[in-house]
A = this chain, B = another copy of it.
Amino acid sequence: MSSNQYLDIAISQAKMGRDEGGIPIGSVLVVGERIAGRGRNQRVQQGSATLHAEMHALESAGRLSAEDYANSIMVSTLSPCDMCSGAILLYGIPEVIVGESTTFQGPEEYLRSRGVKVTVINDAECVELMGEFIRRNPELWNEDIGV
Query: Are B58's CB and A146's CB within 8 A?
Result: no
Chain A interface (Cβ within 8 Å of chain B)? 43, 47-51, 55, 58-59, 61-66, 69, 81-87, 89-92, 142-143, 145-147
Question: Given contacts A50-B59, A146-B69, are A81 and B92 in contact (CB under 8 A)?
Answer: no
Residues of B within 8 A of A66 (CB): 142-143, 146-147
Residues of B within 8 A of A58 (CB): 49-50
Residues of B within 8 A of A81 (CB): 86, 90
Interface-centre pick from A51, A58, A84, A87 (highest chain B CB count, 10 A): A87
Query: How far apart sit A55 and B83, CA to CA, in the bound complex (Å)?
Result: 10
Query: How far apart sit A85 and B66, CA to CA, in the bound complex (Å)?
Result: 20
Query: How far apart sit A49 and B56, CA to CA, in the bound complex (Å)?
Result: 10
Residues of B within 8 A of A145 (CB): 90
Query: Are A48's CB and B59's CB within 8 A?
Result: yes
Given A66-B146, A84-B86: 9 more A-B contacts, CB < 8 Å: A48-B59, A49-B58, A49-B63, A49-B64, A49-B91, A81-B90, A82-B87, A86-B86, A90-B145
Query: Are A91's CB and B48's CB within 8 A?
Result: no
